[in-house]
Every structure is written in structure tokens, then in C-alpha cells.
Structure 1
Amino acid sequence: MKLTLIIALLIVVVLPMTIYAQSWFVAINSNQVSIIISPINSTYILNMISKARCCVYVETYELTYQPLINELANLTQRGIVVYVVLSGNVYGGIPEEEYSAVNELINSGAHVSFNYGYEYVHSKAFVIDNKTVILGSINPTYYGIERDLGIDLVIENSSIAQVFAGIILTDYHNSSITQINYPGIVVSPINSGEYLGDLLSQPGILYMAMEELYSSSGMYSLILTHNDRLILVGQHTENEEAVSELGAVMINDLTAKAIVIGNYVYVGSINLDYNSLHNNRELGIIIESPQIAQEITTIIQQWYNENKTQNQPAAPQINNTSTQALILLIIIILIIYMLRYTLRPKRRRRIPRL
């Protein structure tokens, strides 16, 4: 296992430096990428993992989705190497179901580690056989898989998969990485602020689905350079400022973190807020792919269309009691007027003199 870790670290740190010039995006063929949208087809994550032949690496904030836990345990019992990294810090505390999941996985032979090196390990990433990486915003919890609106990318590229495997193995050992030199791979707190800033600096129409979009990210000024923009945010109080200043639309159960400008696409676990960029361990990727850009744009527009009516300002409501009183008053006035007209004495008609 030590040899595996050494090789993975070399892939993350040394190999990219010798092959690639540093860049904030990676051009990739669309036939190497597919999209998972929760809750529509999020169980595809389980289908991919069940096909593992040698190894699976997982890094996630929480792990409580029992079908996935069962699948990982089954893999280890078949001789597949499984590493799982979980956040040592969880808002509200680590749930009891997760402790149960950890015990089940360890008893089956999986390697499980809690990482305490960051405010939160907020990643949602899976690497299968060092050939495929699944990453994005879909949490492996009941709500994440079956209820929330999230986006993951499935990337069939061994070079990219091995870089993410190396990061996960490093986090498993609670070690640290100070630099990622592979193009387009976005890692908090290493380069996410720089790379996402570069993306938002590109010209073009901006489409964004971002669970948390706070001014603390320092990205508002870049977002405002896009006069044409469609921004969706999650139902959080802190997002009210984005709704007011950026014209964002709030959507219930939105957990996606996705940005599209032109042919550039970002998908990952990184929110646009200070902690996510600077204090958490987060993973994402920026790719250049016209087809994937169009597909995610369509998803964002669809979510907007499905939710826009509930986000439109409500028409002013008139109190029913006041309305009834006004109508009654008008009727009384009309009745009085008619009575006065019918009861007043009629003047005699004067006969003209001949």
C-alpha cells in the first residue's frame, strides 16, 4: 500500500509538472464525459462503483446512504481495495448512521480515515480503477441521492482519475499537498480562488447553479461583468444578498455547484464563499467542452423554468373584508340615489297657451 501512495503522490505532484503547462481548464472530448443529475439518475454512481475491478477511492463530507455502503463493503469482500476519507468535522456533529457505516466498512476490510486538517472535508469524489472519476455536488446520503438537485461529472480519463486518487490517498493519511499542476483540476484551499476567478473573468453569458453564493467569496465584481446571466442559488438566508445584488433566483433543495461560460464548464463541491475557497478541502474540475457546456446550460435553464413561478413577486393582495365593505357601500349609495329619484314629486307639465 505504501508503494501505491508513493506512485499516486508522484502522479499528483511531479508528473503533471513535466508534461503540462499550468492552466485553469482542461480540454476534453465529450465522449469521455457524462453527466449525473440528482435525483434523476444519481444511482448511476452505485452502478459505476459496482463494476470496480481493482480499487475504489472515496472522499466525501458524509456517508450515510446505505445502498452505497453495502456496495463498498461487498467490493472489499471480493478483494477490491477500498479507501474512504470522511470529514472529521461535520456541522452539527457526525451522525450516528455514519459511525455505523464506518464500522461496517472497516469490518468488511475497507480502509477508512477521518481527516481533521480542514474546517470541513466537503468533497464528493469517487475514483474507480484509476481510470474513472466521479465528482461534483451529490452527497452520498439519502437526500443527496434521492431528493436534492445536484450535478456530477463522470470522466473516463486515467490521467485525471489518477490525480484525484493521489489527492484522496494523501487526505487519507492526513498529509498535505501544496500545489496541483494538472490543468483544470480545482482544489481548495490550493487553487480554487484563482481558477474560478479566471473562469468568471471570461466573456460570455453566465449560467450558474450555486448552492452558496456569498459576497465573502470576493467574486461578486466578476459576476457583475456579465450583463447576461442566469444564476440559481440554494434556499439559504445568506443567499438573499446574491438575490438582491446579482438577480439570483432561490431554489429549494439546490446543492449543485456548476458554472458555464461559453464552452467552459466548472463542476465540483466548491461553493462561492470564503470558507469553501480557503478553509475546506474541496474538489472540482474546469473543462472545455461545447457539448457538456450546452447540456449543463439546459439543466440550469430547466431548473429555472420549473421554479420561476414560485420566485416571482406575489401580486398585492386586497383584504376580502375591505373589498366586501366597499362593494356594500357602493350598493347603498346607488339605492339611495334611485330612491331619491323615484320618490321626488313630479312637476306638472305646463300646457302651452294658444
Structure 2
Amino acid sequence: MMYRLQRLAIAFTLALGLSGCGMLPVGMQAGANDQVTAQKHKAGALSLIVLPEMGHSSLLDAIRGAKKSIQVQTYIFTNYDASADLVKALVERAQAGVEVKVILEANPYIPPKPLAPGEQPTFGNNVNKETIQALIAGGVRVKRSSPKFRYTHQKTMVIDEQTAYIMTLNFTNSGLTTNREYAVVDRDPSDIKELLKIFHADWEELTYLPKDPDLVVSPNNSRARIIKLIDSAKKSLMVQCEFVSDPEIAQHLGARAKAGVDVKVMMAHFDKDPNTGRDSNADSQALLNGQGVNQLLFNKSIKMHAKMILADNARAYIGSENMTSNSLDNNREMGVLVEDKAIIETLAKTAAKDWAAR
């Protein structure tokens, strides 16, 4: 046991200090048992949290109500303002005897910003470091992300092996209070069982091929399942995603637009780089326009961090996957396919509001 703890401590030290250490791409392919049609969830198995409107109190309440176990797997987890509430709640449950495990990305990528005159670049600043230290000091079991994936970008939480939260948000102040985000509350036993198997595999750095037909999992099946959803659209496609840059996704969106489907894509708005005059979505715009997708919006009214695709106001994907090659093929990501009428209606209304707000 002591040897294992020492290994974990060494792994964390290396992960926090060495940018890119151990972060290798993988070529895991969907197997023959991959399915691209979701089974129906039972009535009441799913519900939806819409952020920022609904706030993060339900997430806090879920943590505070845990009796046996909590598993969190996420990309960025800060320890200030709203996110500090989650850190405190996890520590309190651990100290109350609940088994709390957290997997955090070892080297989260922070997009570079232009340097001010005379400003020197800084390196090796891991935004998860303070949270890792606070959680470990409070008795939470924390582990760096598996080196099997380029990044662990998944955003999930499972409470007492009974309720899962499949989210688009990081546990950050902006994710909890200002961004456009969604969280699916999932009580489906099959989904829960699969999420726990995946968490265990990633905790132990083992390989596991997901089998549940509802879950959208990178790097295993997300590309196939998201393309299947896009191709299923006959009347409309509404996409809300921070980044859309994958050529194959753009091609399939374009094919639907050329077939007469009303395709709308909302992405995050970024200020132009004063040095180049371009923003980080310029290539995405050119790519999508080149495929015939011309209804694009870079939201200024709200930070678009959600990852959601709504087909024909009847079927939807919600999860952590951006529409980028890295997200679909190399990262650990998690999403879910949804046909619940109440959730679909809420997604449609929210997306329409965001589109109108510009």
C-alpha cells in the first residue's frame, strides 16, 4: 500500500510539473459491438440542468447528500468562488466517511493570450493544482488522468452509484455561473453501470471498450454516434459547441444543409488577436462555409461552452465532446444521446433564445 501511495504521489508531482508528460494519443477504434442507435430511457430516468439560469445548487445538493460514494472525472476544477463550494462539499463528504474519488486532467491546455508589452511568458501553471492539493489534504482520493488519452476532457459525476451527472461544464466559476452549459441528470441503471466501469478503467489506467448504446464516448464511439445523429436530421439541426473544426463533421453538416435541412451552428465568440486580426474561430467559419453551412453565430450574449446537437427537435446529444478531431479521436470524453421530450423541448427553447440574443 505504501509503495502504491508513493507511486501516486510521484505521478502527481510529474504531472503537475512537466507539461505534456505522458499525454500520448491513442488509436482506439470502435469495435464490432459499437451501436449507434440509442435505446429509450424510461420515463423519469433523465432530467436536465440548464446553466447559468438554474444555478449550481443542485450539484452542491447532490454532493452534500451522498451517503456512500462520489466519483468525479473532469478536465478543469478550480478552487475559488462557486467552484470552491464544490471543493469544500467534496472534502466534507470525504471526512464524513463517504468514498470520494476524483480524476483530474494532469496538463489542461490553457489557450495562450497575447502578451502585453514587456510581459514575459509563464509555463507549467496547472490550473488544477490548488484544487488537487485541497482535495488530498481533505481526505479525497485524487488521481491524475490516464496517459492513455491526449486529454481527459470528460465532465461527469456519479453519486452513490445511483445518479450520474453528464455535463458540458468544467467545475469552474464561469462554468457554474456564466457560461451556457448543460448537465444531464441520469438515473438509468445501464448508463450508471457503464459510467462506473469506465471510471474504474481510467482510474486503474486499463483499456475498456464501452458497450452502452446511449453513451457517447471518446475515443471509442463518439465520432460514429455523432455523425449518425447528424445524418438522421430531415428538417433541422441546431448545434451549440465551443469549437467546430473537424473536417468530417463539417462535411456531414454541409451534406444536411445541401439536402434542405435547416442547419444552424452556434460557437463561442473570441476577441480578435490584436497581432493577427483573426479570431480562433476563423478557420471553423471558413471550413463550414466551404461545406455550405452558412447559418453561423459566434455568440456574444453568452459564452458558448455547451456541446449540444439537436436533430429535428426530437433527438439530441449532450456531452463534453467538441466537434474537433482531437476531442473525437484522442481524448477521453463523455456524452449521452437523449430523446426525452421534456429535455428536447428545453434544449430547443434555450437554443432558440441564444440564437435570437446573438
SS of the counterpart of 1:163? helix
Structure 1 residues 266 and 30 mapped into 2: Cα distance closer, same or farther (>3 Å)? Answer: farther
| CA–CA separation in structure 1 for the residues paired with 2:181 and 2:52 | 8
Structure 1 residues 147 and 94 mapped into 2: Cα distance closer, same or farther (>3 Å)? Answer: farther
Matched, 1:241 2:286: yes
Partner of 2:342: 291
Aligned ranges 1:262-281 → 2 under 5 Å: 262=312, 263-281=314-332
SS of the counterpart of 1:218? helix
User: Which one of the candidate residues 62, 81, 92 is aligned to 1:48?
Assistant: 62
> What is the identity, as a one-letter code, of the residue corresponding to 1:276?
S
| CA–CA separation in structure 2 for the residues paired with 1:89 and 1:96 | 6
Shift of 1:261: 0.9
Partner of 2:276: none
Shift of 1:79: 0.7
Task: Provide Cα deviations, 1:252-294, integer angstroms capped at 9, x if missing partner.
Answer: 4100001111321100000111000011110001122233222
Tell me if structure 1 keeps the 8 A contact 2:194–2:211: no
SS of the counterpart of 2:44? helix
Partner of 2:173: 142
| CA–CA separation in structure 2 for the residues paired with 1:98 and 1:219 | 31
| CA–CA separation in structure 2 for the residues paired with 1:255 and 1:101 | 21
Name whichever structure is richer in helix by fraction.
1
Matched, 1:190 2:203: no
| CA–CA separation in structure 2 for the residues paired with 1:160 and 1:106 | 29
Tell me if structure 1 keeps the 8 A contact 2:238–2:309: yes
Asked which structure has the greater CA Rg, the reply is 1
User: Structure 2: which 5+ runs fail to align?
Assistant: 2-30, 111-122, 270-279
| CA–CA separation in structure 2 for the residues paired with 1:100 and 1:300 | 35
- The number of equivalent residue pairs is 288
> What is the identity, as a one-letter code, of the residue corresponding to 1:56?
I
Partner of 1:83: 101
| CA–CA separation in structure 1 for the residues paired with 2:349 and 2:70 | 31
Task: Provide Cα deviations, 1:23-56, integer angstroms capped at 9, x if missing partner.
Answer: 4323113522221122122412112221111111
The alignment yields a C-alpha RMSD, in angstroms, of: 2.2
Partner of 1:328: none
| CA–CA separation in structure 2 for the residues paired with 1:83 and 1:153 | 20
Aligned ranges 1:107-146 → 2 under 5 Å: 107-115=137-145, 116-146=147-177
More displaced 10-residue stretch of structure 1: 22-31 or 73-82: 22-31
Partner of 2:42: 29
SS of the counterpart of 1:31? coil
SS of the counterpart of 1:153? strand
Tell me if structure 2 keeps the 8 A contact 1:26–1:288: no
Structure 1 residues 97 and 272 mapped into 2: Cα distance closer, same or farther (>3 Å)? Answer: closer
> What is the identity, as a one-letter code, of the residue corresponding to 1:194?
A
| CA–CA separation in structure 1 for the residues paired with 2:34 and 2:327 | 26
Tell me if structure 2 keeps the 8 A contact 1:125–1:135: yes
Task: Provide Cα deviations, 1:223-274, integer angstroms capped at 9, x if missing partner.
Answer: 1214212221112424332563422111141000011113211000001110
Structure 1 residues 200 and 96 mapped into 2: Cα distance closer, same or farther (>3 Å)? Answer: closer
Structure 1 residues 295 and 191 mapped into 2: Cα distance closer, same or farther (>3 Å)? Answer: same
Tell me if structure 1 keeps the 8 A contact 2:240–2:308: yes
Partner of 2:298: 250
Structure 1 residues 197 and 97 mapped into 2: Cα distance closer, same or farther (>3 Å)? Answer: closer
User: Which one of the candidate residues 265, 268, 273 is aligned to 1:231?
Assistant: 265
Matched, 1:207 2:238: yes
Shift of 1:303: 0.7
> What is the identity, as a one-letter code, of the residue corresponding to 1:32?
A
Structure 1 residues 228 and 97 mapped into 2: Cα distance closer, same or farther (>3 Å)? Answer: closer
Tell me if structure 2 keeps the 8 A contact 1:118–1:280: yes
Give TM-score, length-normalised by structure 1: 0.76
> What is the identity, as a one-letter code, of the residue corresponding to 1:109?
G
| CA–CA separation in structure 2 for the residues paired with 1:242 and 1:234 | 16
> What is the identity, as a one-letter code, of the residue corresponding to 2:196?
A
Give TM-score, length-normalised by structure 2: 0.75
Partner of 2:190: 159
> What is the identity, as a one-letter code, of the residue corresponding to 1:249?
L
> What is the identity, as a one-letter code, of the residue corresponding to 1:261?
A
Task: Provide Cα deviations, 1:192-220, integer angstroms capped at 9, x if missing partner.
Answer: 11111111110331111111111x34112
User: Structure 1: which 5+ runs fail to align?
Assistant: 2-16, 308-354
> What is the identity, as a one-letter code, of the residue corresponding to 2:63?
I
| CA–CA separation in structure 2 for the residues paired with 1:241 and 1:280 | 25
| CA–CA separation in structure 2 for the residues paired with 1:145 and 1:220 | 29
| CA–CA separation in structure 1 for the residues paired with 2:72 and 2:350 | 26
SS of the counterpart of 2:345? helix
Partner of 2:131: 101
Tell me if structure 1 keeps the 8 A contact 2:108–2:127: no
Tell me if structure 2 keeps the 8 A contact 1:54–1:81: yes
